[in-house]
Amino acid sequence: MNPPAGPATPHRGGATVEFQHVTKRYGPVTAGPGAVNDLSLQVPAGKICVLVGPSGCGKTTSLKMVNRLIEPTGGRILIDGADVAAEEPTALRRRIGYVIQQVGLFPHQTIGENVATVPRLLGWAPARQRERTDELLALVGLEPGLHRDRYPYQLSGGERQRIGVARALAADPPVMLMDEPFGAVDPIVRERLQNEFLRLQKGLAKTILFVTHDIDEAIKMGDLVAVMHSGGTLARFGTPSEILADPASDFVARFVGADRGLKRLSLTRVRDVPLAPALTAQPGDDAADARSRVAADPFGHLLLVDALDHPIGWLDPRKLPTSGTLETSMAVPMSPLLEPETTLKDALSMLLDADVQAGIAVDPEGRVLGLLTVDTIAGLLNRR
């Protein structure tokens, strides 16, 4: 994906969004599903705030009150300090991006027309609409020439979701509302869309309110997570690591799950933790010398690498010849290769799958950075 560029995206970054004692009741007495009870929270500009909770907890209602698809019973919602209730709803909605689970592309319009919806409503000149459309298609990883004139049903589910995001970004809104935007695709595509979107958001820095019922998605996508309770109350609001480290209530602890220690691992990446130095040798090195080096090493394993420091395989110290030189053929299959961006949760899973004690961390060029051991990960789990 290309970074957004050009005069069509003049201002990046988001606006603050603030809920002040927002309440929505659907009946005079009972709260009912979808109700919201005295919700107050502040999302700083450029952050993703995930609203998560069981169904009927009012997360979608909260989202729809921001662009006034639903009007609150009480309280205020401010965008950059301005009350949304003071603005004409259609004008307000045109400067807030909106993505829904079923995407809601207009089946009778081409992809290009779909993406240009808000620019068209805002009365942009056709040439500018077209330029912006092509820019956005490229941004979400779809070739403009190939997709612009096609119809929504001609796309895969993942492509439709991307178009949904592109359409919401069209007029460069400072705030985006996303209601389970990746909910309608299979897990593999969802994972890819999540990663793409996070990469995109790094350049765009929109303020995003993101609704999901999936705590794993909340932890992955959110700078901030608001856990909501049935009845529309805010149970916990904080960063993912704060919430995982201290759920603060039984409800939140149960909701984030018994594996919250493991989930914490998904917040930390290989580049964030100290790696054990790898004991390495190259083919052609003296075998006796290698044996003595291994004997002195606490980990007791020797990694064979090539001249460029790319790992070849492990050498079993007991099977090393007493004389002569090291050969490539002596190396046994490798531990998993871990990249700096790999989460510790994924790393641990790979180590357990491969039934080894250590993974080899490599840089993007494939050179050995060091070793990540199961002990290191266990140590991190025990801390805090």
Partner 1 sequence: MSGWDWIASHLTDIAAATRDHVVLTIIAVGVGFAISFALALLIHRDRRAYAPVTAVAGLLYTIPSLALFAILVPITGLSVLTAEIGLVSYTLLILVRNIVAGLDAVPPEAREAAAGMGYSALGRLLRVELPLALPVIVAGLRIATVTTIGLVMVTALIGEGGLGQLMLRGFTLQNYTAVYVGTALSVALAVAADLLFLGALRLATPWRRARER
Contacting residues toward partner 1, per CB under 8 A: 67, 69, 89-94, 98, 100, 102-110, 117-118, 121, 151, 153-154, 167-168, 177
**Residue number with CB closer to partner 1 (89 or 277):** 89
| Pairwise CA distance, residues 70 & 93, whole Å | 12
Strands 74-79 and 82-83: antiparallel
User: Residue 66 or 139: which CB sits closer to partner 1?
Assistant: 66
- CA–centroid distance for 184 within its chain: 17
Considering beta carbons, is residue 67 or 266 the nearer one to partner 1? 67
Rg over alpha carbons for the chain, rounded to the nearest Å, is 26
Beta carbon nearer to partner 1, 179 or 196: 179
208 vs 303, beta carbon nearer partner 1: 208
Exposure of 234 in the CB half-sphere (CA atoms within 13 A)? 19
Least separation, in Å, of the C-beta of 71 and partner 1?
13
Q: Which amino acid is at 315?
A: L
Segment holding 167, helix H or strand E: helix 157-169
**In this structure, what DSSP letter does residue 277 have?**
P
Q: How far apart are CA 309 and CA 369, in angstroms?
A: 9
Q: Which is nearer to partner 1, 103 or 235 (CB)?
A: 103
Q: Identify the H or E element spanning 251.
A: helix 250-256
How do strand 311-315 and strand 302-305 relate by DSSP bridges?
A: antiparallel
Closest approach, Cβ 3 to partner 1, in A, equals 25
Across the beta sheet with 82-83, the strand order is 36-43, 17-24, 74-79, 82-83
